[in-house]
Structure 1
Amino acid sequence: MSQIVQVGNEILRISPKNPCHIEYSYNGGRTWLSRYIGTVAGPFKDLQTVGTQLVALSAKGTFYSKDQGRTWLLKSR
């Protein structure tokens, strides 16, 4: 797994400043914008794409997103 993944024409990453946030870039990483700011999933540790889903390992379990990291649902603890 990784802390940065390619999803379509965007790059998503775990924020280096706050691991509870997901950021995205649409210009190859030159600038980063907030995509998800929350604590439902806890601090993110790793990201991976699996088919059309984004999967994240966090301090609270394994979570998945079907909307490019905007919302996260618990997959397993």
Structure 2
Amino acid sequence: MSQLITLGSELIRINPQNTTRLQYSYNQGRSWLDRYIGSTPGRFLDLQVAGTQIIALTAKGTYYSKDSGRTWLFRSK
């Protein structure tokens, strides 16, 4: 797993200053924008691409997203 993944033409990373947030870049990492700023999954620890989904290991368990990290659903502890 990783703290930075490639999904399609975007880079997605765990925000290095606030691990409860995800950021994305559409210009190979030259600039970053917030993608997810909620609190449902808690702190993000690692990210992985699985087909069209993102799998996240978090402080609250394993979560997945089907929409490029905009929303997160609980998978397991």
Please say whether Structure 1 and Structure 2 have the same fold, judged by a TM-score greater than 0.5: yes
Percent of counterpart pairs with the same letter? 58
Name the amino acid aligned to 1:27.
N
Aligned residues: 77
State how far apart, in whole Å, the 2-side matches of 1:56 and 1:21 are: 12
TM-score (norm 2): 0.99
Structure 1 vs Structure 2 CA RMSD: 0.3
Matches within 5 A, 1:20-35: 20-35=20-35
Query: Which consecutive residues of structure 2, in runs of 5 or more, have no partner in the other structure?
Result: none
Matches within 5 A, 1:1-77: 1-77=1-77
| Runs (4+) off by over 6 Å | none
SS of alignment partner, residue 23 of structure 1: strand
Q: CA deviation at 1:38?
A: 1.1
Name the amino acid aligned to 1:49.
V
State how far apart, in whole Å, the 2-side matches of 1:23 and 1:55 are: 15
Query: Which consecutive residues of structure 1, in runs of 5 or more, have no partner in the other structure?
Result: none
State how far apart, in whole Å, the 1-side matches of 2:45 and 2:70 are: 17
TM-score (norm 1): 0.99
